[in-house]
Chain A
Amino acid sequence: MYEKEGRAGYALVAPTTVLLAVFYLYPLAQTVAYSFTDWNPGVPGAVSFVGLQNFADLAGASGFLEALGTTVLIAVAVVPGSMAVGLVLAALLDGSFRGRTVYRTLIFAPHIAPTVGSALIFSYLLTPLGGLVNAALKGVGMPAVPFLTTSPWALIAVIIFLLWQQVGYSMVIYSAALSTIPPSYHEAAKLDGAGAVRRFLSISLPLVFPTSGFLVITGLLSSLQVFTQVFVLTGGGPLDSTKTVVFWIYEQGFLFFDGGLATAGSVVLLLVGVVVTLLQLRFLSRRDQIEMV
Chain B
Amino acid sequence: MATTVESPAAPLPAPPVAMRRRRRPLSSAAPGLGRHLVLVVASVLFFGPFLWMVLVSFKSSTEALSSPPTFLPTVWHPENYLDVFRVAPFGRFYLNSVVVAVAATAGQVLTSLMAGFAFARLRFKGRNLLFVVLLAALMVPFELVFTPLVSLLSSLNWLNSYQGLIVPNIPSILGVFLFRQFFAAFPAEIEDASRIDGAGVWTRFRLIMAPMALPMIASFAILSFVYNWNNFFFQFVVVNRTEFFTVQIGLTLLQGQEASDFNLLMAGSTLAVLPVLLVFLLFQNQIVKAISGGLR
Chain A residues packing against B (C-beta within 8 Å): 2, 4-10, 12-13, 15-17, 19-20, 23-28, 30-31, 34, 41, 44, 89, 92-97, 99-110, 112-118, 120-125, 127, 129-132, 135, 138-139, 164, 167-169, 172-173, 175-176, 179-180, 182-183, 186-187, 190, 196, 214, 218, 221, 224-225, 227-228, 231-232, 246, 249-250, 253-254, 259, 262-263, 266, 269-270, 273-274, 277, 291
Contact = CB atoms under 8 A, between A and B. Distances in A.
A115 B248 CA distance: 9
Contacts, number: 321
Main DSSP-derived SS at the B contact region: helix
Interface string B39-74: 110110111011011001000000011111100000
Interface in B228-287: 229-230, 232-233, 237, 247-248, 251-252, 255, 262, 265-266, 268-270, 272-273, 276-277, 280-281, 284, 287
A221 B9 CA distance: 32
Report, nearest first, the 8 A-B pairs whose CB atoms are least far apart: A95-B28, A130-B65, A9-B124, A12-B118, A30-B148, A8-B201, A6-B124, A106-B47
A105 B287 CA distance: 11
A20 B134 contact: yes
B2 to A, nearest CB: 6
Given A117-B269, A132-B52, A232-B255, A27 B125 contact: no
Contacts of A228: 232-233
B152 A27 contact: yes
Nearest to A33: B148
Contact of B31 (A10, A95, A115, A120): A95
B25 interface: yes
Contacts of A13: 114-115, 118-119, 130
Contact of B46 (A123, A129, A168, A186): A168
Given A6-B124, A125-B49, A273-B144, A103 B266 contact: no
Given A16-B115, A117-B272, A250 B50 contact: no
Main DSSP-derived SS at the A contact region: helix
A124 B252 contact: no
Given A24-B145, A27-B149, A122 B49 contact: yes
